[in-house]
Amino acid sequence: MNSLYSRLRGTAVWRSVFRSGTGDTNLHRSLTVQQNIFLHLASVKIRRRALEFGVTWYLGTLSMASFVILVVTGVLLMLYYHPSVPQAYADMKDLQFVVSAGVFLRNLHRWAAHAMVVLVFAHMFKVFYRGAYRPPREFNWVVGVMLLLLTLFLSYTGYLLPWDQLAFWAITVGSNIISAVPAMGAKIRFLMLGGHTVNANALLRFYVLHCVILPLIAAVFLAVHFWRIRKDGGLYTGDKPRE
Amino acid sequence: MVDCIRGTSPVSEPKDFRASFDSDSQRTPVRVAFVTRRTTPHVTKAGDDRVMTNPDALLRVAVAVMALLIVLVVVSLLFDAPLEGLANPLQTPNPAKAPWYFLGLQELLHYFPPVVAGVVIPSLVVLALVVIPYFNVNVEAEGFWNRNGERKSILVWVAVAALSAFLVWFSVYAVLVPTLVSGGALIVTAAAPPQDKGFGGWLRSKPLPFWIMTWFLVVAITLTVIGTCFRGAGWSWVWPWGEL
Amino acid sequence: MSFRVRGRRVRKWFFGDSARAFGTLGVLLLALLAIVPAKDRFREWLGYQKEYEILIRGRTDGVALAKRFQSGVQQIWLPERDVTDRCMTCHTRLKETSLAGVGQPFRPHPPIPHSLTEFGCTICHRGQGVATTVEEAHRSTKAWEEPILPAQYSEAGCGQCHRDGLKGTPQLNAGRVLLARYGCVNCHRLVSPEGGASQGTDRPPSLKRIAEKTTREWIYFWIKDPQAWAATATMPNFGLSDADARDVSAFVISQSSPGSIAPAVATNDAGAAAGAELYGESFCASCHAMQNAAGKITGGDLAPDLTRVGSKVRPEWLAAWVKNPAAYLPGTMMPHFRFDEKQIGLLVSYLGRKQDSYFPANIRLEPATAAQIAHGQKLVLEKGCAACHEMNGVARPDNFAPDLTAVGSLPPARVLLAPGVPRTLPDYLAAKIREPHAFGREMKMPRNQFTDAQVEQLVTALLAQTSRSQTFPAALRRPTPVNVTYQPAGRAGQLMKDLRCLSCHSINGTGGSMAPDLTWEGSSVQRAWLLDFLKNPNTLRPVLIRRMPRFNLSNDDASTLADYIMTAYQTPAFDREEVDATKLTPTEASRGKSLFYGKYACNSCHIVDPDNDKGYIGPTLTQAGTRLNAPWIFHWLKNAQALRPGSLELNWNMNDEDAWAITAFLMQQKNTRKPGGER
């Protein structure tokens, strides 16, 4: 089994894709991380203590995981969804009653979205209480706050998309708060909704924000966030040395 | 901090000394730990205690992700996402509620004018979060009551009383209660013996930012829970388990 | 090995290190994900389709049924009507009439004139069309507020478009009649999509001169419980307390304008006996009911019950009324009988003795105080009395009660709750009609004593008032036939109005349904007979009790009327004078006779020979020769419905020779004797 695996890793095709080569030395292990576009944001080595559950509760990891789940389920949902009135609502019904595993897909997206909001908040508080925000990690904390806001915006824009009573009135209430901004509140609200009320324009606008603009911005911020973990000295493991 | 000791920075003047960090590695190329008068440089372990990212970290991450996925899949199989009737601008549900994470704000709207609750407070919260690492860096993370206990206790009393008076004035009892609880806890811990190994001692070792953040967290959770579960038609108080 | 140790080993095997935990959780996750397609596999509708396949497998026509069966989700999609109905996914073969005995969901749909694919299911039946689960499709949920219409109210679905009184929807039609007859629409607005608000047919009397007519004691008794006075009363019960009824009666009397008191009429017992005879001869019972000695109520229901009329009305008012009803109530349906003073005296003597001993003995009211009158007025305003009755000093309230135009679409969330009443719209409506105060004592709506069947009819009519019905395209709607009110003109017209001919007869689509349609009467009858009939009517149909009253017309009036009818009411289809004498020969007549008794067996319904014939359904034809015109008989035999729509006469499709032969036979019938030897 193992020899088959190593032989496979030795083939020309495999080596053309993964540059780490055969062998189980630390060099090879380092190369898998270093030579991988997705993993190279992380350092090759990591403090043993940073892997302990109690230190981070893996909240950042789990936040990222829910983001990935949301991207995957979200893209699948886009296959069934029209951002128009009232077809959007009819699509919800189709997902529920006709599409294979449609309900499951929607459930997973919805609950993962709630989970992400909770996890990101929890991540923030955990980082604060550990003191992990302090210099030299102060800028990464700011990036984190931006990611928290992005998470909220993503969730909020997605909330309107089913176009049911719950969605419509939640967005109406939320957008009414914005119009309280002095001087330009009404303008901002108009810009956000594409009209004076929550209507088909708002649905389209929220759809584009939810599916394209905000995820792209979030992806950029996430990349910076991970990169800065490494550049700011790795995961913060606390003041006290291990016994 | 200690695991950063690597260089041989001389600690010549271990007297009154302000410690500070700088994230600009070009200006301060070496990260330094400072040994003050009150601590002894007792190094138990130095140097690297590191493991390979691949496979140690990657496997653990994979396990964590999988655990989350399992939880989400189980929840998705058991509970259906809510879906109500087609959006109808003419039929306002009572109450019309924002998504749960904004219900704390919506609850505040009940007490303050929209400009305050909807714009000023959230902006201040975001601003406060952003400036936390730049402002009042308590590097030593010194316990709040460790020094100048008497003077601080007067300040705390005055601050809590003023805040409470303000909240009573606007009848914001939903914020008043958590404020009194966390303020009360702060005052009570002043009395805890410094060497207490239990919860009291643990609390006593916490610096001021801990207390402020905890107050904010408790207030946010209280407001959100009230907005989610205890508000009914016309934003009136209802019990989630129905009338008794 | 202890349990604990084994447990620790097991845990170590599964979660000993990251790699093992990864493997364990991976397998667990895959197993959970496998549930997702499994859940799809066990969807409800798939189970029903499988059940259907098993059902048809055992049948002799199974192959044909299987060929027509389509598996998978089936839907009717009509975007322009907002219909996406997937009902046929489970209700697989709605068109398979051979499955008639099979239970739901496979029972075939009863035959209807609409195509299922043209209208879908939910337009009529409600329910959530897109749903493919039993619960979501049929019941009210957060996402769907229109649950399936219970089967007993199915006609409400038809009523959304059909306001033309379909034959197949008796319950709906009856409900609509009740809404108008019991004055529901006097308080509640009920607007049709064409724009007109429904009008009541109960004609509540004006109370502006009520003091002339009756006493305060009677009003007190009546408003406390109208049905206790007359079971046929359409006025509802307001549940007034004794004090409230006292005050309302005080106000009603006090607002009445002082009228001219007619001189008292002398009455006597001898007159009462003769009055009873006159009452019978004048066929008052055609419209009025009265309790006879055996306690049975006999007579028509077009006008008030007269059993205890002597306790109700003042004799002087009665005299004035009988003399000319329109003088007191211009809109009345009662004809102006030309009674002379003596006859009036007889009738008043007779009717004045129709009294109730309970009433004067048990009700004593002290003279009303100003405070009582004021309180009575307040109650009259509160209860909305003026929505039905005209009164002095009280304006008719607008929108007194909730608008019922779209009550059939009332969302369940807005349905009120009462103990013991399921929270569904039909149950709510039924409970509200049955006992309005079940939803709170403060409810203003009064109570009518409806039977269960009537309640069901009313609920059906109300459920048809959906908001969707207001937005259907005009091409789909079948509005109420527009009533062009016909009013005969000239002096004869005045006379016909005075006699209230249209209370019973209808002409050109206007009028009552008790007596024959007179639209083509001029083509039908001969003038001499008509003149005689107007002066001394007798029934033509042996089975009918109701007969045309005698109006005591003067010769002049009768001939004016006859002339008018003969000239104005002629059909354009033929000329009544145009008779080909060669067709009406005695030979033809005898051939007609054999056809009458033989081929067409007309004698099953009609009488020609009063001694032997036993046909009691159609009109007697003993005097057809003096009564009818030959061309009328001929065309009648050819196609009676063309002359009088809705006639019971069969459509014979008779050839011309036979029709003329029978006409010749009938024109010979000039017998003046009636069956049974009478007159």
Owner of token pair 């610096």: B207
Distance CA A168, CA C388 (A): 44
Number of independent structural domains in chain A: 2
Considering the domain architecture, whether residues C113 and C31 belong to the same structural domain is answered as no
Q: Which tops the pLDDT comparison, B85 or C483?
A: B85
- C184-221 b/e with 16+ CB inside 10 Å = b? bbbbbbbbbbeeeebebebeebebbbbbbbbbbbbbbb
Chains that touch A (3 or more CB pairs under 8 A): B, C
The listed range with the strongest mean pLDDT (A181-185, B71-75, C511-515, C527-531) is: B71-75
- How close C209 gets to chain B, by Cα (Å)? 48
pLDDT band, residue A221 (cuts 50/70/90): very high
- Residue C289 host element (H or E): strand C289-291
- Looking at C423, C441, C471, which one is the last position of a domain? C471
In-domain check, residue C438: yes
Distance CA C546, CA C541 (A): 10
In-domain check, residue A224: yes
Considering the domain architecture, whether residues C324 and C362 belong to the same structural domain is answered as yes
Distance CA C180, CA C197 (A): 11
C515: containing domain: 492-568
Query: Chain A contacts of B23, Cβ < 8 Å?
Result: 135-139, 232
Task: Supply the CATH number for residue C534's domain.
Answer: 1.10.760.10
Q: Minimum mean pLDDT among A102-111, A164-173, B170-179, C616-625: which range?
A: C616-625
In-domain check, residue A237: no
* pLDDT tens digits, one per residue of C544-570: 555 678 788 888 888 888 888 888 888
Q: Which tops the pLDDT comparison, C417 or A227?
A: A227
In-domain check, residue A133: yes
Q: What pLDDT, on a 0 to 100 scale, did the predictor assign at position A163?
A: 95
* pLDDT tens digits, one per residue of C569-603: 888 888 887 777 777 888 888 888 888 888 888 88
Amino acid identity at C59: R
When pLDDT is averaged across residues C113-141 and rounded to a whole number, the result is 88
In-domain check, residue C608: yes
* pLDDT tens digits, one per residue of A86-130: 899 999 999 999 999 999 999 999 999 999 999 999 999 999 988
- pLDDT at C484 > cutoff 70: no
Q: What pLDDT, on a 0 to 100 scale, did the predictor assign at position A242?
A: 40
Considering the domain architecture, whether residues A32 and A133 belong to the same structural domain is answered as no
In-domain check, residue C69: yes
The verdict on C38 touching B (C-beta cutoff 8 Å) is no
- How close B84 gets to chain C, by Cα (Å)? 4
Considering the domain architecture, whether residues C308 and C324 belong to the same structural domain is answered as yes
Query: Chain A contacts of C84, Cβ < 8 Å?
Result: 90, 93
Considering the domain architecture, whether residues C235 and C355 belong to the same structural domain is answered as yes
> C469 and C160 in contact (C-beta within 8 Å)?
yes
In-domain check, residue A222: yes
Considering the domain architecture, whether residues A62 and A162 belong to the same structural domain is answered as yes
Q: How many interchain CB pairs under 8 A, A with C?
A: 27
Q: Which residue of C has its CA nearest to A91?
A: C130
User: Vertex B78, ends B75 and B83: CA angle to 5°?
Assistant: 90
Give the burial class of A176: count Cβ atoms within 10 A of its Cβ; 0-12 exposed, 13-18 middle, 19 or more buried. Answer: middle
**Helix residue ranges per DSSP H, C499-537:** 501-504, 521-524, 527-535
User: Vertex A7, ends A2 and A13: CA angle to 5°?
Assistant: 135
A2: containing domain: 1-40
Percent of the residues in chain B that have a pLDDT greater than 70, as a whole number: 76
Considering the domain architecture, whether residues C245 and C119 belong to the same structural domain is answered as no
When pLDDT is averaged across residues B186-199 and rounded to a whole number, the result is 78
- How close A40 gets to chain B, by Cα (Å)? 11
Query: Chain C contacts of A93, Cβ < 8 Å?
Result: 84, 130-131
* pLDDT tens digits, one per residue of A14-34: 888 887 777 778 888 888 888
- How close B31 gets to chain A, by Cα (Å)? 9
Considering the domain architecture, whether residues A18 and A74 belong to the same structural domain is answered as no
What's the number of CA atoms in the CB half-sphere (13 Å) around residue A130? 22
- Looking at C504, C535, C568, which one is the last position of a domain? C568
Question: Which of C36, C74, C83 should one mutate to test binding to chain A, selecting the residue with the greatest count of A CBs within 10 A?
Answer: C36
* pLDDT tens digits, one per residue of C234-287: 899 998 898 999 999 999 998 888 766 666 666 777 778 888 888 887 888 888
Q: What pLDDT, on a 0 to 100 scale, did the predictor assign at position C319?
A: 87
Q: Do A97 and C131 touch (CB under 8 A)?
A: yes
pLDDT band, residue A200 (cuts 50/70/90): very high
Q: Which tops the pLDDT comparison, A206 or C545?
A: A206
Distance CA C130, CA C124 (A): 15
Q: What pLDDT, on a 0 to 100 scale, did the predictor assign at position C675?
A: 45
Considering the domain architecture, whether residues A1 and A77 belong to the same structural domain is answered as no
Query: Chain B contacts of A106, Cβ < 8 Å?
Result: 81
Distance CA C594, CA B67 (A): 100
Q: What pLDDT, on a 0 to 100 scale, did the predictor assign at position A89?
A: 95
pLDDT band, residue B12 (cuts 50/70/90): very low
Chains that touch B (3 or more CB pairs under 8 A): A, C
Q: What pLDDT, on a 0 to 100 scale, did the predictor assign at position C676?
A: 43
- Residues 6 or more apart from C569 whose CB is under 8 A from it? C507, C518, C519, C520, C521, C522, C523
Considering the domain architecture, whether residues C227 and C349 belong to the same structural domain is answered as yes
- Residues 6 or more apart from C395 whose CB is under 8 A from it? C386
Query: Chain C contacts of B55, Cβ < 8 Å?
Result: 18-19
- pLDDT at B75 > cutoff 80: yes
In-domain check, residue A236: no
Q: What share of chain A is helix, strand, coil (3-state, %, to 5)?
A: 70, 0, 30
pLDDT band, residue C26 (cuts 50/70/90): very high
Count, residues in chain A: 243
- B101-123 b/e with 16+ CB inside 10 Å = b? bbbbbbbbbebeebeebbbbbee
CA end-to-end span of chain A, whole Å?
Answer: 40
Q: Do B59 and C22 touch (CB under 8 A)?
A: yes
- How close A13 gets to chain B, by Cα (Å)? 22
Considering the domain architecture, whether residues C233 and C346 belong to the same structural domain is answered as yes
When pLDDT is averaged across residues C89-107 and rounded to a whole number, the result is 78
- Residue C48 host element (H or E): helix C44-57
Number of independent structural domains in chain C: 6
Q: Which tops the pLDDT comparison, C609 or B139?
A: C609
pLDDT band, residue C94 (cuts 50/70/90): confident
Task: Supply the CATH number for residue A86's domain.
Answer: 1.20.810.10
> Considering chain B, what is the average pLDDT of its residues?
80
Q: What pLDDT, on a 0 to 100 scale, did the predictor assign at position B7?
A: 39
Q: Which tops the pLDDT comparison, C32 or B147?
A: C32
Q: Do C36 and A104 touch (CB under 8 A)?
A: yes
Interface residue ranges in chain C relative to chain A, Cβ cutoff 8 Å: 36-37, 39-40, 73, 84, 86, 130-133, 136, 143
DSSP type of residue C391: B
Q: Which tops the pLDDT comparison, C397 or A66?
A: A66
Considering the domain architecture, whether residues C25 and C13 belong to the same structural domain is answered as yes
Q: Do A100 and C40 touch (CB under 8 A)?
A: yes
Q: Minimum mean pLDDT among A180-189, C470-479, C587-596: which range?
A: C470-479
User: Vertex A122, ends A166 and A220: CA angle to 5°?
Assistant: 80
Q: Which tops the pLDDT comparison, C576 or C373?
A: C373
Considering the domain architecture, whether residues C52 and C83 belong to the same structural domain is answered as yes
Q: Do A104 and B22 touch (CB under 8 A)?
A: no
Considering the domain architecture, whether residues C255 and C345 belong to the same structural domain is answered as yes
- pLDDT at C112 > cutoff 50: yes
Q: Which tops the pLDDT comparison, C472 or B138?
A: C472
Distance CA A172, CA A163 (A): 12
Q: Which residue of C has its CA nearest to B66?
A: C25
Please list the residues that pair with C141 across neighbouring strands. C144
- pLDDT at A72 > cutoff 90: yes
Q: What pLDDT, on a 0 to 100 scale, did the predictor assign at position B69?
A: 96
CA end-to-end span of chain B, whole Å?
Answer: 56
> C602 and C662 in contact (C-beta within 8 Å)?
yes
